[in-house]
């Protein structure tokens, strides 16, 4: 694991299950897009490792972040949570000054 980004065991397990079901490599790409109710939004997709990506690995599953997005999420941890509201990947981002109620967007 790197100190730039982290992938929890719960998130790794969920990514592995999704990747297996779709016949893809267990690589979760986290990126940041402009927009969302707080300014920036997180985007998750199964992807490939690209040159320059920051990488964290847990239980054989990789979390990758491009260099531009890394500036906004460095030091973050990606978890998978299940509660009464449903299930989702959750980013704990120490760089976020504020976020929205749904947890999918943030501002710095």
Q: Is residue 86 part of a domain?
A: yes
Model confidence pLDDT, tens digit, residues 48-60: 999 999 999 999 9
- Indicate the pLDDT class of residue 1, thresholds 50, 70 and 90: very low
**Edge-to-edge strand ranges of the sheet holding 40-46:** 54-58, 61-65, 27-34, 40-46, 105-107, 98-99
The domain spanning residue 48 has which CATH number? 2.60.300.12
Q: Is residue 108 part of a domain?
A: no
Model confidence pLDDT, tens digit, residues 59-98: 999 999 999 999 999 999 999 999 887 888 999 988 876 5
Q: How far apart are CA 56 and CA 77, in angstroms?
A: 10
Q: Is residue 12 part of a domain?
A: yes
The structural domain count of the chain equals: 1
**CA dihedral over 12, 14, 16, 22, signed as positive or negative:** negative
> Does residue 41 surpass a pLDDT of 90?
no
**In terms of residue numbers, what domain contains 65?**
5-103
* Bridge partners (DSSP) listed for residue 34: 40
Q: Please, where are the H alpha helices in 1-108?
A: 9-22, 67-73
Place of tokens 């760089």: 95
């Amino acid at each position: 694991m790197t100190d730039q980004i982290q992938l929890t065991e719960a998130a790794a397990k969920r990514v592995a299950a999704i990747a297996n079901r779709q016949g893809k490599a267990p690589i979760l790409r986290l990126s940041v897009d402009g927009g969302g109710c707080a300014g920036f939004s997180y985007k998750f997709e199964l992807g490939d490792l690209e040159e320059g990506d920051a990488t964290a690995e847990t239980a054989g599953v990789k979390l990758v972040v491009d260099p531009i997005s890394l500036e906004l999420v460095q030091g973050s941890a990606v978890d998978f949570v299940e509660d009464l509201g449903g299930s989702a990947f959750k980013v704990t981002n120490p760089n976020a000054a504020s976020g929205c109620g749904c947890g999918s967007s943030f501002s710095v």
